[in-house]
Structure 1
Amino acid sequence: MTITDKNGKIKNVKVDRHLLDYAINDALNRYRSCQTNLKNGNIKHFRLRYLKLTKPNKIIKIEKLAFRENTFYQSVLGDTVKCLSKNFNYSENIKGVAILTKRKNDYYLLSKHNKGLKLNKYKDETIGIDLGTNPMATGYTDLGVVVIGKNMSKQIGKKIKTIDKINNLKGFLSEKKLRITNKKYKRIRDMVNDMQWKVANYLTKNYKNIFIGNLSTKKMGEGKIDKRVKRIGNLLSICRLKQKIKYKGEQRGCKYKEIDEAYTTQVCGKCSYQKKTIGSNKTYKCDSCKITMNRDLNSARIITMLGTQKTNKK
């Protein structure tokens, strides 16, 4: 292949023809996608341009035949690329087309692999989940603790602040404010929806028995809670999360059950002592057995025990 540099000089460059095939195929796919969007009225026009050299992310697709035991394209790259791990070699583990990505000054080699066996490793395990806002969910299992959506509340809180600032601006038409805030709310809903499907997939792929506290957004709204926390709770839409987990559980043969979480915050998960003065403390300190643990973890532990007891009785 010949290229022309900035000075107008023509140079011969060694480029594997299959690399060019994949690059042309990607360009054609993008062009067809633009044509379809134009035809369907999703866009009004589009432009064909060269890829910029300043583009932060660059990719090339490499076929399986280009890989050797611990390198690829050795005739061109020489010893520039080497896999240093003794337990891994490219030729055995890369089954199809791999993608080499450059992000700034870092390179990443991405390849498809089968995760089926790994996902079913703990399929017989039971998990109890305490739902909330920060984090979105705390799970307790025999093997450890699962914390989900730790920063979700913080991200939504920042977006709510931005929405409130827009609503308080003077000199803007109310219609314009509404249009902007609706877009912001849509982004929050999309983010939450995506997170919920990921949570539902993870739980139903890894656990056979799923016990969840019967917290609802309505109950959260009725309590004496800060208004901002209530807004975040409404946007997190806990009811829809439970529906997604139940739906995915039915598809994958998981046992899903909602547990009455009354007194789960007050009762000790070790000795069953009831402490009525816990308030808004994030840490549970038992006055009887002196154990100290995270409040949400304590609730998740009790939900797991209650769910297991009800299952064993049947």
Structure 2
Amino acid sequence: MKDHAPLYIPTYDDVIRAHERIAPHIHRTPVLTSSFIDGMAGASLFFKCENFQKAGAFKVRGACNAVFGLDDEKAATGVATHSSGNHALSLSYAAGRRGIPCHVVMPRTAPQAKKDAVRGYGGEITECDPSTSSREAVFADVEARTGAEFVHPYNDWRVIAGQGTCARELNDQIRDLDAVIAPIGGGGMVSGTCLTLSSLAPHVEIYAAEPDQADDAYRSFKAGHIIADDAPDTVADGLKVPLKDLTWHFVSSNVTDILTVSEAEIVEAMKLIWKRMKIVMEPSSAVPLAAVLKNREVFAGKRVGVIVTGGNVDLDRLPWMTA
């Protein structure tokens, strides 16, 4: 099983082409603010709300770029991936828009809301155990059986270029940012942000935020090489996957720092945004705000873009119901 399309480091020109390709299939998502949260943070925060994106998550950008970039012959066999949720439903959405099959391997523990969304968009799910090794082993069987085009959730230049369109919009919507912070799991969004801002606004500091209980990116960043956990346990279900070579290229070269937060801090930040901004967002999306509030001295007085990555949460199993 290959990790991504032929190894290629995307450029900002790829982001521009991706934006043109996916424009008919995505939303230009809004940027919201909260004076109350600004007061708590001691900074001016600008929330790029990808929870309002098609399919409810930023990942539809990369998925659409990969799907609509295929030639007709490759597209005919469909696409396939492994994902804990948002990439799975985003690829299913994109494949449905193009009218091609989509095969998805998902952990059996993935939120039911995400499984329902995949099936709603026409994706076919094969379940696996909640570990990276199981996910990749089961996927190898699915790939061999279907012959579908593999679209990796993040370690794919087409996906990274698509995710880079989010920061491109943010840079256009809010000028003079000092920093941008996004959650990190496999690093697709952070890589796309690095790719875009290194060209458009190289002075902007890029931070990644990660759960303490799934801190392999943090430990990799400090060690200078990839350290992968097989099955981390965190309420932020979208951040359980490890970095790969292509995302590590961007993270190791362009990220200012990776900040970690506790499970309790994630839940409190999620509740704060729900209560004060009245928007539905998933636990993974709360990690950046939790990191800003925990590290006020880092962001004090700055204009900070906060990428809210998705809003696909199981309303019957909200984290504070069991926290």
TM-score, normalised to structure 2, is: 0.30
Larger radius of gyration: 1
The structure with the largest helix share of the pair is 2
